[in-house]
Amino acid sequence: MNINWNDKEPIYRQLHDRLVELILEDVISEGDALPSIREISSEHRINHITVAKGLQMLVDEGLVEKRRGLGMYVKTGAKEKLVVLERQQFLERELPDIGKKIKRLGLSVDDLVKVLKSTMKNEGK
């Protein structure tokens, strides 16, 4: 699991966000076990308490369940729930900022559609 750390957000939040991406991209599927706190801590050289906090966020959101003595597993329906949450966040938080930037740059809808079509075509969608 590669994570490009940044100084803008806490490490536990970045770990959480990366695991969310992996679930959305089906790298980690529903029913799969997550790497252990010890594995993540060792691999990324971060404190185990930081790792536990990032994983606990997933539990608190209802995406992951703890199985005593076995570890943490992605719950059924986690991906669907994440897609709904990510769409809502995009539409409410990110898109308005993007819209403001588009306006500042004087881009047209045709410019945007052309780029989006090209991008989606290259990704096979």
Question: Residue 6 has what pLDDT?
Answer: 80
Residue 81 has pLDDT above 90, yes or no: yes
Give the predicted TM-score (pTM) of the model: 0.77
Let me know whether 87 and 40 are in one domain: no
Residue 123's pLDDT band (boundaries 50, 70, 90)? confident
Let me know whether 39 and 88 are in one domain: no
Identify whether 89 is part of a domain: yes
In whole numbers, what is the pLDDT of the chain averaged over residues? 92
Let me know whether 118 and 104 are in one domain: yes
Let me know whether 48 and 105 are in one domain: no
Question: Residue 119 has what pLDDT?
Answer: 87
User: Which DSSP string corresponds to 39-100?
Assistant: HHHHHHT--HHHHHHHHHHHHHTTSEEEETTTEEEEPTTHHHHHHHHHHHHIIIIIHHHHHH
Taking only the tens place, the pLDDT of each residue in 16-70 is 999 999 999 999 999 999 999 999 999 999 999 999 999 999 999 999 999 999 9
Range of the domain at 85: 79-122
Let me know whether 64 and 92 are in one domain: no
Which CATH number fits the domain that encloses residue 28?
Answer: 1.10.10.10
Residue 124's pLDDT band (boundaries 50, 70, 90)? low
